[in-house]
Amino acid sequence: MPEKIIPLTDLRSPAMPVPRELEAPTGLLSDALGRPLHDLRISVTDRCNFRCVYCMPKEVFDKDYAYLPHGELLSFEEITRVARLFIAHGVEKIRLTGGEPLLRKNLERLVGMLRALGTPSGRPLDLTLTTNGSLLARKAQALKDAGLDRVTVSLDALDDTVFRRMNDVDFAVSDVLHGLDAAHAAGLGPIKVNMVVKRGTNEDQILPMARHFKGSPFILRFIEYMDVGASNGWNMDEVIPSAEVVRRIGLELPLAPVAANYSGETAARWRYLDGGGEVGLISSVTQAFCHDCTRLRLSTEGKLYTCLFATRGHDLRVLLRGGRLDAEISGAIAQLWRGRADRYSETRTVDTAGLARGGRKVEMSYIGG
C-alpha cells in the first residue's frame, strides 16, 4: 500500500549556486559523463484530471492533497526567460509536461512565447507536449496555431473497461481517440502514443493497441513500467520487458528492428514487415539508456532535476525572483549541468528500486515523465 504522505515541496532543494566567474554560453555544455544538454522538459502544472495507478494513485492524491498555490508556479514570463537561457546552452527540444499540461490556463500563450525564441543555430526549436489527451480535442487547433509542433499522448489501453480502471476517474477511451484525431487534423505531428505496460493490469492490451494503431498516422510506443516516484508501490515482477512485448506482437504481426532516427532516441524502433508502419519500445528498466540521456527537467515551481529518479531539485526560481542577472542564472545552469553524473537506470537493482539512494524520489506528476 503506498504511503499517504508525500511532501509537496522538496525541502532538500537548495538555491543553485552562482559561479563567481561568469562565461557566455557556447551551446556546447557537457555533463560529467560527456553528455550534452539537449532536451528541456518543463512541467507547467502539478495537477492532473486522471488518477493513473502508476502515477497519481487516488489513495495519495485525494481531495485533501495540497497542490501548489498559483503564486508558487513559474509564470509564463519566467518560463520563457529560462527557456531562452537553456537554448543558448544548446537545448533544441522543449517538451511541456505536467501533471496534465492542458489544465494550465491559456497554455497556448506560453506555446506562442516559446515559439518566438530563436536558436543559435537558426534551426527551429522542436516544441512538443505530453498529454493524457482528455482536453486535446478542444485544444489541438489553438496549440497548433500558437506554434506547437507535435504531441505525445498517453494511452494505456484500448478496452474501455481497462482504460477507465487505469485512469481511475472513469474517463472513456473514445474521448482520447477523438483527441488524437483532432490533433492529427490540426496538423500536429508526428504524434506518438505512449502505453505504459504493467503486468497483470493492461498486458492484454498490447495486441489490441498494436492492431489499432498499425497503419495509422500515430506511432505507438510501449514503455516498461518504472519505479518513478515513491507512491506507486513499484515491483519488478510487474515489469514486462520490451523483448517480451516485441515477441508477443511479432507472433501475429511480424516485426524487424530499425535504426534510431538520432543518437539519444529513447525508443528502439521496430517496423512491421508488411509496411504497416512502426512501433517504439522504451526499455528504461531492462535496457537503460542513461549513457545517451540529454534531458533536464524543470518543475512547476522552478526546481531543476537532472534525472527522472532524482531525490533533490535545484532551486532556480529563487534566482529568477531574487533579481539575478541572466548571465548569473546562465552560469548557475552551466555549473549544474557540468556536475551531473546521474545514471539511475543503469545502476538500478531490485533492492534499490523504490527506495532511492539518499532519500525519497520526486513524483513523476510533479516533474513530468
Q: Which residues bind ligand SF4 (CB under 6 A)?
A: 284, 289-290, 293, 295, 307-309, 342-345
CB 253 within 8 A of CB 211: yes
Q: In a 3-state reduction of DSSP, which class is residue 93?
A: strand
Question: Is residue 284 marked as binding?
Answer: no
Nearer CB in complex with ligand SF4: 76/309: 309
Least distance in angstroms from the C-beta of 346 to ligand SF4? 6
Report how far residue 41's alpha carbon sits from residue 368's, in angstroms, rounded to the nearest whole number: 7
Nearer CB in complex with ligand SF4: 166/364: 364
CA-closest candidate to residue 28, choices 104, 99, 89: 89
Question: Is residue 354 marked as binding?
Answer: no
- Lookup: cell for 237: 515482477
- Lookup: cell for 33: 559523463
Question: Is residue 158 marked as binding?
Answer: no
- Lookup: cell for 286: 531492462
Question: Is residue 307 marked as binding?
Answer: yes
Phi then psi dihedrals of residue 258, to 5 deg: -125, 150
Question: Is residue 54 marked as binding?
Answer: yes
Least distance in angstroms from the C-beta of 345 to ligand SF4? 4
CB 352 within 8 A of CB 285: no
Query: Is the Cα dihedral 218, 221, 222, 227 positive or negative?
Result: negative
Nearer CB in complex with ligand SF4: 171/344: 344
Question: Is residue 48 marked as binding?
Answer: yes
Quick check: bond before 257 cis, omega within 30? no
Least distance in angstroms from the C-beta of 36 to ligand SF4? 13
Nearer CB in complex with ligand SF4: 136/367: 367
Nearer CB in complex with ligand SF4: 39/315: 39
Least distance in angstroms from the C-beta of 292 to ligand SF4? 8
CA-closest candidate to residue 151, choices 162, 139, 168: 139
Give the DSSP per-residue string, 35-58: -B--EEEEE--S--S---TTTS-T
CA-closest candidate to residue 196, choices 172, 230, 232: 232
Least distance in angstroms from the C-beta of 197 to ligand SF4? 18
Residue 206, number of CB atoms within 10 A of its CB: 21
Least distance in angstroms from the C-beta of 137 to ligand SF4? 31
Question: Is residue 295 marked as binding?
Answer: yes
Nearer CB in complex with ligand SF4: 25/368: 368
Question: Is residue 11 marked as binding?
Answer: no
Which positions make up the binding site? 41, 48, 52, 54-55, 95, 99, 130, 154, 192, 226, 290, 293, 295-297, 307
Which positions make up the binding site for [4Fe-4S] cluster? 48, 52, 55, 290, 293, 307
Which positions make up the binding site for S-adenosyl-L-methionine? 54, 99, 154, 226
Which positions make up the binding site for GTP? 41, 95, 130, 192, 295-297
